[in-house]
Amino acid sequence: MIKIAPSILAADFLHLERDVMLVNDHADLLHFDVMDGCLVPNLSFGFPVMEAVAKVATIPLDVHLMIINPDKYIERFAKAGASLISFHLEAADEAGKDVREYISLAKSCGVKAGVAIDPDVPVERLFPYIEDVDFFLIMSVFAGFGGQKFIEESIGRIAALRKEMERVGIVKDIEVDGGVSGANAKALADAGATMLVAGSSVFKAEDPAAAIAGMKL
């Protein structure tokens, strides 16, 4: 069954506890977007917010690090309560590092390790890491902002990654993030996505629980 990960970037920060409670019993993971203003042209939130959310969340925290040098912070996010941590291949490129360093570090901290890419990075660049990762995160918008329009080509990228996993006989989770809603959830699942991140389509909905259920159909 596909997992739904509401992104609290789209929550009401003045009522964060209420919004976490709204999805606790319906969603599978809680997605937490960390931005540094360097890897992406925006800032979001960090440890104090994460620690507050961890106190009320009853589902695993899925931390998406849109930051350069994620290796500096992976351990702290793991200690703050993350169950899954993804970081960008672009961050490893920028640092001149092999992304496997970040993967090993995350695993040694006891969290699931994910490698993310923006829509302009060829999906084939993920193929060498199929054996190493716990999951991949395919961005279906350019990382940095919630509420953007879903990029349709992402479906083909997910299908290509899934096909390669089947070819090599190692199937890992594929998470998709950006512009996800009930309108594209089925196509994404059919292409091979196993975790759907949804910000606006959950928290801006009148009935977040129904929005989550609508993506599981």
Say which entry of Zn ion, ligand DX5, none residue 162 contacts (CB below 5 to 8 A, set by partner kind). Answer: none
Which of 57, 70, 175, 179: binder of ligand DX5 (CB under 6 A)? 179
Give yes or no for residue 147 binding ligand DX5 (CB under 6 A). yes
Q: Contacts with ligand DX5 in 20-49 (CB under 6 A)?
A: 31, 33
Give yes or no for residue 103 binding ligand DX5 (CB under 6 A). no
Give yes or no for residue 88 binding Zn ion (CB under 5 A). no
Question: Which of 106-140 are b and which e, b meaning 16 or more Cβ less than 10 Å from the residue's Cβ?
Answer: bbebebbbbbbbbbebebeebeebbebbbbbbbbb
Give yes or no for residue 19 binding ligand DX5 (CB under 6 A). no
Give yes or no for residue 212 binding ligand DX5 (CB under 6 A). no
**E strands present in the chain:** 3-6, 30-35, 61-66, 82-88, 112-117, 135-139, 173-177, 195-198
Q: Contacts with Zn ion in 16-45 (CB under 5 A)?
A: 33
The helix (run of H) or strand (run of E) holding residue 104 is: helix 99-108
Torsional sign, CA 61, 206, 10, 49: negative
Select from 51-59, 143-151, 156-164, 205-213 the region that touches ligand DX5 (CB under 6 A).
Answer: 143-151
Question: Which of 154-165 are b and which e, b meaning 16 or more Cβ less than 10 Å from the residue's Cβ?
Answer: bbebbbbbbeeb
Give yes or no for residue 89 binding ligand DX5 (CB under 6 A). no
Q: What distances in angstroms separate CA 186 from CA 1, 139, 198, one per listed residue?
A: 12, 17, 14
Give yes or no for residue 64 binding Zn ion (CB under 5 A). yes
User: Which residues belong to the active site?
Assistant: 33, 177
Residues at the contact surface with ligand DX5, assessed by CB under 6 A: 7, 9-10, 31, 33, 64, 141, 143-148, 177-180, 197-201
Residues at the contact surface with Zn ion, assessed by CB under 5 A: 33, 64, 177
